Amino acid sequence: MEDTQSVATLIDSTTSKIQQLQKAFAELESHRAITLNLKWKQLEEHFHGLEKSLKRRFTELEDQEKEYETKTMEAWEMLEKREAAVMAKEQASLERLQEKRDAAVSAIANALQKHRKISSGEPAAFNIEDQGGAPSVEEKPPDVMVAESNLVDMRKTSVNECVEVKSYPQLVDLCREMDSEGLHKFISDNRKNLSAIREEIPLALKAAADPASLVLDSLNGFYCMEVSNLDGKKDSNLLGLRRTCIMLLECLSILLTNLDRSSASHIVSENVRERAKAVVEEWKPKLDDLDVDANNGNSLEAHAFLQLLSTFGIDSDFDHDDLSKLVPMVSRRRQTADLCRSLGLSDKMPGVINVLVNNGRQIDAVNLAFEFELMKQFSPVTLLKSYLNDAKKISSSVKTGNSSPTVQNEVNERELTALKAVIKCIEDHKLEAQFPLDPLQKRVLQLEKAKADKKRAPEVAKPLPKRPRANGVGHSPRVTNVAADKNIYARTTDRYPQYMYDRPYVYPRPTDNHVPSLLGSAGYAMPPPGHGNFFGNGFQYQAVQTPYLH
Confidence of residue 462 (pLDDT cuts 50, 70, 90): low
Q: What share of the chain is helix, strand, coil (3-state, %, to 5)?
A: 65, 0, 35
Q: Identify the pLDDT of residue 401.
A: 57
pLDDT (average), residues 450-479: 59
pLDDT digits (tens, 9 = 90+) for 396-445: 666 655 567 777 788 888 889 999 999 999 999 999 999 999 999 999 99
Q: Identify the pLDDT of residue 516.
A: 45
Q: What is the DSSP string of 71-106?
A: HHHHHHHHHHHHHHHHHHHHHHHHHHHHHHHHHHHH
Confidence of residue 166 (pLDDT cuts 50, 70, 90): low
Range in 59-68, 445-454, 459-468 with the lowest mean pLDDT = 459-468
Closest CA to 162 of 212, 211, 205: 205
> Are 138 and 148 spatial neighbours (Cβ–Cβ below 8 Å)?
no
For 295, other C-beta atoms within 10 Å of its C-beta total 23
Q: Identify the pLDDT of residue 346.
A: 93
Type of residue numbered 182? G
> Are 303 and 506 spatial neighbours (Cβ–Cβ below 8 Å)?
no
For the cut 50, the answer to whether the pLDDT of residue 542 exceeds it is no
Q: Measure Cα distances from 354 to 272, 361, 447 in Å.
A: 37, 10, 31
Closest CA to 434 of 422, 444, 446: 422
Higher-pLDDT residue of 504 and 380 is 380
Q: Identify the pLDDT of residue 264.
A: 87
What average pLDDT does the structure give for the chain?
Answer: 75
**Largest Cα span, the chain:** 144
Domain chopping of the chain, boundaries: 1-114, 167-268, 269-376, 379-454
Say which residues have a Cβ less than 8 Å from residue 405's Cβ, sequence separation at least 6. 454
What is the rounded CA–CA span in Å between residue 443 and residue 295? 30
pTM given for the model: 0.56
pLDDT (average), residues 440-457: 86
Phi-psi region of 517 (alpha: psi -120 to 50; beta: other; left: phi over 0): left
| DSSP SS3 for 133 | coil
Higher-pLDDT residue of 400 and 311 is 311
For the cut 60, the answer to whether the pLDDT of residue 140 exceeds it is no
pLDDT (average), residues 140-159: 39
On the CB side of 311, how many CA atoms lie within 13 Å of its CA?
Answer: 31
pLDDT digits (tens, 9 = 90+) for 219-270: 998 987 656 555 556 688 899 999 999 999 999 999 999 888 888 888 999 9
- DSSP-derived letter for residue 144 is H
Is residue 403 within a helix (H) or strand (E), and if so which, with residue range? none
Type of residue numbered 175? C
pLDDT digits (tens, 9 = 90+) for 325-338: 999 999 998 899 99
Closest CA to 360 of 328, 337, 338, 335: 328
The four Cα atoms 498, 500, 505, 509 give a dihedral, to 10 degrees, of 20
For the cut 60, the answer to whether the pLDDT of residue 48 exceeds it is yes
Closest CA to 348 of 366, 330, 321: 321
> Are 541 and 495 spatial neighbours (Cβ–Cβ below 8 Å)?
yes
Burial label, 6 (beta-carbon count in 10 A; 0-12, 13-18, 19+): exposed
Higher-pLDDT residue of 332 and 515 is 332
For the cut 80, the answer to whether the pLDDT of residue 193 exceeds it is yes
For the cut 60, the answer to whether the pLDDT of residue 499 exceeds it is no
Q: What percent of the chain has pLDDT over 70?
A: 67
Confidence of residue 121 (pLDDT cuts 50, 70, 90): very low
> Are 174 and 183 spatial neighbours (Cβ–Cβ below 8 Å)?
yes
- DSSP-derived letter for residue 233 is T
Higher-pLDDT residue of 384 and 128 is 384
Is residue 326 within a helix (H) or strand (E), and if so which, with residue range? none
What is the rounded CA–CA span in Å between residue 362 and residue 422? 10
Confidence of residue 117 (pLDDT cuts 50, 70, 90): low
For the cut 60, the answer to whether the pLDDT of residue 500 exceeds it is no
Say which residues have a Cβ less than 8 Å from residue 341's Cβ, sequence separation at least 6. none
What is the rounded CA–CA span in Å between residue 333 and residue 504? 5
| DSSP SS3 for 171 | helix
Q: Identify the pLDDT of residue 154.
A: 38
Q: Measure Cα distances from 187 to 218, 223, 300, 548 in Å.
A: 12, 19, 18, 10
Range in 147-156, 207-216, 399-408, 458-467 with the lowest mean pLDDT = 147-156
Q: Identify the pLDDT of residue 54.
A: 87
Higher-pLDDT residue of 335 and 288 is 335
Higher-pLDDT residue of 12 and 102 is 102
Q: What percent of the chain has pLDDT over 90?
A: 35
For the cut 80, the answer to whether the pLDDT of residue 38 exceeds it is no
Tell me the three-class secondary structure of 463-514, residue by residue: CCCCCCCCCCCCCCCCCCCHHHHCCCCCCHHHHCCCCCCCCCCCCCCCCCCC
Q: Measure Cα distances from 378 to 80, 148, 546 in Å.
A: 69, 40, 35
Range in 386-395, 408-417, 478-487 with the lowest mean pLDDT = 478-487
- Give the length of the chain: 550
pLDDT digits (tens, 9 = 90+) for 74-98: 999 899 888 888 988 888 889 889 9
